[in-house]
Every structure is written in C-alpha cells, then in structure tokens.
Structure 1
C-alpha cells in the first residue's frame, strides 16, 4: 500500500491565493524571483492574433518561460541553470527565453505548472505520479496539465550528520534538530517516509524545513544535528561541507528499507565507499529519478519538440556532473505511468527512443 502524507497541495495553493489577493500572485513564494510565469498565457494569446492556431506557442516571440528548479544549495538549481542555458543557446524558436528559477522543488514545481505560474519543472518522478491520482502531497487534487519531457539524473537520499555528533543511526534522530527539506520538495516527502520507517513522526524531532544549502551551514556551525538531501551522487554541497567539518552518512537499515519499499516507489541503492573522500564503507540508501516535466497548457507540441530536441541534442554542453546522465539512452527513465508531453513524444519517436 502507498502511504499518504498530509497534503502540501492545499497549503501551497492557499498561500498562493493569499498572495494573489495582495497583488503579489507572480511571486510564487520562491525567493521573489519567479515573476512573469503568469504572463506566459497572456503573451502567447497576444501572439495568436485571434487566429486560434494550435502552434501559437512556437510562433515568433513566445514570451519568457519559467523552469522551476529547487533550493540554491541543492542539485536542481545549478543543474537547471545550465539546462536553461543549453536550451536557450540551441533552440530554433525566435523570441524564446527560458529562465531557471529557485523554488520549493518537486511538488512546488508541479503545483506552479498546474496554476500556470511555471512552464517547466524539475521533479522526483514519484511526486509526479502522485499528482495524477491526487495522492501524497496532492491528496484530493488531480493534476492533468503536464507531460514528461525526459529523465535528468538518478537522485539519492543522503543523510548527513557530524562525525562527532554521537548519532549512529536514523533512530537516534529522536529529539534532534533535523533539516528535512523545503515544504513541497521531494526531499521532505522522502525524509518523512524514512523517519516514519524508524517510528519517528512529526514532533518527535525538531524539523527544519530548508534545503541542503542552508542546512549545511548549520551543520558546519554545530547548530543542526542532521540533514536529509535528495541529491545527485556525488553532491558538490556535501563535498564542500566535508572540507570544513568531519561528517558521515547515516545508512538505512534493512528493516527501514522494507518499510520504505512497501509504502513508496523508492528503491534501494548502495552509495559506494569511493563516492566521497570521507567514506570508508558503502552506505545503504534509497533512490528515485529526477525528471523534467512541461505544461501542456503553455507549451504546445511544436514548442515541446524544440525544447526536448535542444536539450538532448546538446546535453554534452552541461558541465554539472549530473548532466552526464542526461542522455538519449536514459531519456525515458522515470516515465513509467506518466503522460508523455506530445512534443517530447514526437522527438523520442523521431530518435527511435523507446522503453
């Protein structure tokens, strides 16, 4: 059975409605730099010239598009910045301009697409699946206006604590200060699941709802006991933290894995001992897929095709280590059960990319 969590959808939706009532609807709660997403439909409508053309989004001057990433200290943000640059530099669409913006990550990005505030988003594939059926953080609300546009990289849950913290297992996090990721992020949903596998519920630990970038600074200063991060492997932010403080990764036990696999789609993964200099043995963890999704409201088939083509034909220009996973061979990883965006589907079929 798949375990349900308290819905973040209603919480984030209510927050956005309050902001809209105050005249700040374009902010989206993402560091104040996400203005403009709501203008996509208006700009594209203006480009229609009343013609009702199905490919209006791909006409000259398509307007500014938004790509939702994650917190600045995670993997999504820097990788998303490079993805946007690659697409902008190579897409064959006049007037196209894609901006990658920080956000609450997975759930936040899908909600923003649902509300017309973003056009593209990075997400763990499991929350994307939940959004289709109104499960998990989307409890009671089914999202139907996005499509899968490609696999980005495998995400790995990495639980970091100070080497001298005295914390030997996840069960030791009871009554400790723990960063569980921003509200609406895949990290937070996965962190709560892992903690529940050890019998730890909300209130059993002091939760900090922040991304790994902020959490790393607190761990470095000794003001936080542990942090969860659903990140690429290796994660540059973890490597940087290990330079200033001795740290270690907490493993997930076999019993914990049994609970997680029973209640979610996460799979077991061993983090190899050579992943980081501070490791001396493999660490058992869980993994899922980071994927790209696109709005089917603001991105039509033609524009979706051009975006997908520009990204996958030129992914070699991405310098971020996780960009190595953005290949045609991996393109459909994480797509099982998700609708494929018509434009991406056209590109995949053209390239002979099949499961």
Structure 2
C-alpha cells in the first residue's frame, strides 16, 4: 500500500508541472513569517497558496472567497498574498502540504485523521506537519443519476459508467467505500476519475450513468445540472449506511426533500465536515493566528452559500482527534472557544 501512496505523489508532482506551465504561482517564495505579528512594524512574507478542489465543485469557488477575505483583512504582513489553487481536493491537499507545496488546504476531516495515523489513502505514511485551523461547512455525499436510467440503488451501478471523483479527493475515497458496501469493486463498473463539473457535462451529454459528489447542501452545480437534465438522487439503504459507519468516521444524514426542486422525498445520505488545515512548516504561530482571525472575524463577507457555516460558533466542528495549529489555537482561546 505504501507503493500506492508514492505513486500518487508522482501524479501530484506531474500536476505541479502542469500548473506551473499554466502560469500558476509555484509557491517557491513561501516561508515562515519572522518576528512578532503583533508588533507595530510590518512583516514581509512571500506568497502563500491554499489548495481547494476541482473547479466544478464547492471547494474552489468557496476557497477563492476565503482567500480574498483573508487577504483583505491581514494588515501586519507586508505583501501578504494568499492564492486559491485548484487541486484534487482532500487527500491531494494534505499530500501537497506534506511535500511543502501548499501552505493551507481544504479537506474532509476523515482523510485528515487518516493522514495522521497512516490509514486509508495514506496507508504506510504518517503525516504530522499540519494543524486544524477551523471548520468550513458540512459536506454531504450526493449521488445522482439521469431520471430515465432505471438505476434505483447503488447495487444497480454494476457495469455502469460512474464518476467517482478525482484521484486524491475525499469524494473518491468515500465513493469507493460506498460501492464496496454494496459488493462493487474496481472492474465491476467503469470509473471516471473527474470532478463534479466534468461529470455533470458528461451526464448532460448522455455519457454517464451516475456521479458521486461530496458537496455542500444545496450544491449549485447540482441545481445547474437539473436545469438541463432530469435527474434523480440515489439514497443509501440502512444496510449500506451501517457498513459505512462501521468502517469509517462518516455519519448518516437526511437530505430534506425541499433541498432541491427535483427531489420528491427525503433522501438518506452520508456526511462529514470540510475543514481548513495549515502547514506547521511554513505557517508559524503568529501568521496562523492572523489568518484564522482574519477569516472568522470577517466570514460574513463571503457570498458563497456554504459561507453561512463559516462562523465562530461552528469553528471547532470536525476538530476532534486532529492537532490544532498553534496560531488557530491562540485565536480560538482568545475568542473564548477553547478553555
């Protein structure tokens, strides 16, 4: 399994080359902030990057707004510039933080726990150079299929074309677990490893039977798909839910029928927390404090639907079992959220 993890590293390195060729900042100027962030003098720091997800999902547009809010509200760091970059999402972001290629990352809290212990996609490699910096929003696995597909359960996906999310994403890790719960393994279906936006285009064209998406609720990309294609949502059966809860930290939740116009009844789904993590190598305590404070004191400026969950009241959701970034811990203590 260790071989599997390092082969993923190779894919990530190749992706970095592509981003550089496209003119993305390669993060080479990233470094720890020096001095006291609370002093009167400004501290000079290079550009930082926050890893998000595919452009068709929730992470990328929300991450862009988070970066904008942080940039607009950090005054003590001269030249501070945080850029949101598209990545493979959860596992990819944690891996790139481990390699020193990202400073911040959005991730489902389950892969973050796996990274600490060397389990799941990180089997054989333990990652400990990151810390929890706050809850972002609850993520919900939403599995959709064309309304005329005849697909009613996960078991019906055998032999079908299925989008399971990009490599290194929380979507793919959970999609594989859900399929496994119904006895479906690699080769029992044709897997498309792509983000939800690309999968939605494929479904519009009639070339996809189902798509998994670990998204916010409601998901704008899903609402857009429903405008151009009649779709249904596949729910998780009680037996499937029991298997998933027994073999992961994910939990069941009910998607209310009024979440989308195309739903006729409530749907049983799976949920987890999206959280922000930061490198403890490139972000010191003072900078971590400034970033966390800038985000949570000004989250009301975020217009994305999922921004409503980015509040001080929710800030510690998903933190259980994860190490706290020293800077975030300092802010949460100051805000009265920690004893």
Contact 1:146 1:296 in 2 (8 A): yes
Contact 2:50 2:83 in 1 (8 A): yes
Counterpart Cα distance in 2 of 1:33 and 1:181: 25
- What is the TM-score with the length of structure 2 in the denominator? 0.94
How many residues end up aligned between the 2 structures? 336
1:112 maps onto 2:96 in alignment: yes
Shift of 1:10: 1.6
Shift of 1:91: 1.2
Q: Call closer, same or farther: CA 1:215–1:156 in 2, change over 3 Å.
A: same
Counterparts of residues 35-46 of structure 1 (less than 5 Å): 35-41=25-31, 44=32
Counterpart Cα distance in 2 of 1:12 and 1:29: 17
> Which residue matches 1:130?
114
Q: Deviations over 1:290-326 (max 9, x none)?
A: 0000000100000000000000000000000100000
SS where residue 265 of structure 1 aligns?
Answer: coil
Tell me how large the CA RMSD over aligned residues is: 2.1
1:78 maps onto 2:68 in alignment: no
Contact 1:149 1:341 in 2 (8 A): yes
Q: Call closer, same or farther: CA 1:158–1:267 in 2, change over 3 Å.
A: same
> Which residue matches 1:22?
none
| Structure 2 portions without partners, runs of 5+ | none
Contact 1:34 1:66 in 2 (8 A): no
SS where residue 349 of structure 1 aligns?
Answer: helix
> Which residue matches 1:62?
45
Counterpart Cα distance in 1 of 2:151 and 2:5: 33
Counterpart Cα distance in 2 of 1:71 and 1:91: 27
Q: Call closer, same or farther: CA 1:119–1:254 in 2, change over 3 Å.
A: same
Shift of 1:165: 0.7
Match of 1:172 among 156, 159, 175: 156
Displacement over 4 Å in runs of 4+: 5-8, 28-34
Q: Call closer, same or farther: CA 1:28–1:333 in 2, change over 3 Å.
A: farther
Match of 1:257 among 200, 218, 241: 241
Match of 2:311 among 324, 327, 350: 327
> Which residue matches 1:201?
185
Match of 2:165 among 162, 181, 206: 181
Q: Call closer, same or farther: CA 1:88–1:138 in 2, change over 3 Å.
A: same
Q: Call closer, same or farther: CA 1:6–1:324 in 2, change over 3 Å.
A: farther
Match of 1:94 among 72, 75, 78: 78
| Structure 1 portions without partners, runs of 5+ | 20-24
Q: Call closer, same or farther: CA 1:118–1:349 in 2, change over 3 Å.
A: same
Q: Call closer, same or farther: CA 1:16–1:195 in 2, change over 3 Å.
A: closer
Counterpart Cα distance in 2 of 1:137 and 1:86: 32
Q: Call closer, same or farther: CA 1:33–1:276 in 2, change over 3 Å.
A: farther
